[in-house]
């Protein structure tokens, strides 16, 4: 497990240093802002949904925050492209389970794929909100056609 943890840490550091899909998406039709007052993380998520197929055509984010919040947003964007809104919501549920489940139960780690990098987060409860911010913001963006603001202190 130690080697795996080190690998996951490297993935998070890499995404923090070179965030994927970073920046605004002027053509987006879903957008939301998220704020985690406990840490000071701020994230904006831009999503372009194809209204005919219901698939996520493109997704980008911008914001400032700690390494975990930024890496989590970056990894999230790489997972969302091409997914339907329903699949994106399922992914959110899976992610939520990963970061909130018992740290000692790693039995399900094999099936998590890229989400497995978040296993390390659940050992640091204060960091769960940092990692969750982008995901809550994404969910909010999908549910609202207009700009909305979310705070981790209201969810
Ligand atoms: Zn943070």
Q: What is the CATH number of the domain that holds 77?
A: 3.90.1010.10
Of 55, 31, 35, 58, the C-alpha closest to 45 is: 31
Residue 76 CA to ligand 1 centre (angstroms): 16
| Containing structural domain, residue 122 | 2-149
Q: CB of 128 within 8 A of CB of 121?
A: yes
Residue 39 CA to ligand 1 centre (angstroms): 5
Q: Give the whole-angstrom CA distance, residue 79 versus residue 151.
A: 23
Residue 73 CA to ligand 1 centre (angstroms): 11
Specify if 100 maps to a domain: yes
Residue 80 CA to ligand 1 centre (angstroms): 21
Specify if 17 maps to a domain: yes
Specify if 155 maps to a domain: no
Report, in this order, helix, strand and coil percent for the chain, each rounded to 5: 50, 20, 30
Specify if 65 maps to a domain: yes
This prediction has a pTM of: 0.87
Q: What is the pLDDT of residues 77-112, one digit of tens each?
A: 999 999 999 999 999 998 998 888 765 665 555 567
Helix residue ranges, H only, the chain = 2-17, 67-80, 85-100, 125-143
Number of structural domains (the chain) is 1
Confidence of residue 6 (pLDDT cuts 50, 70, 90): confident
Specify if 154 maps to a domain: no
Residue 15 CA to ligand 1 centre (angstroms): 14
Q: Give the whole-angstrom CA distance, residue 99 versus residue 86.
A: 20
């Amino acid at each position: 497990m130690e080697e795996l943890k080190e690998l996951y840490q490297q993935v998070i550091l890499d995404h923090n240093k070179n965030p994927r899909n970073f920046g605004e998406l002027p053509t987006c039709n879903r957008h939301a802002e998220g704020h985690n007052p406990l840490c000071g993380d701020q994230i904006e998520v831009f999503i372009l949904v194809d209204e005919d197929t219901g698939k996520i055509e493109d997704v980008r984010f911008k914001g400032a925050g700690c390494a975990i919040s930024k890496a989590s947003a970056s990894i999230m964007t790489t997972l969302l492209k091409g997914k339907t809104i329903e699949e994106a919501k399922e992914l959110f549920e899976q992610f939520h389970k990963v970061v909130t489940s018992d740290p000692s139960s790693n039995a399900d780690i094999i099936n998590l794929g890229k989400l497995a990098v978040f296993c390390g987060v659940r050992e640091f409860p204060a960091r769960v909100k940092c990692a969750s911010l982008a995901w809550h913001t994404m969910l909010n963006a999908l549910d609202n056609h207009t700009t909305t603001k979310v705070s981790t202190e209201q969810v």
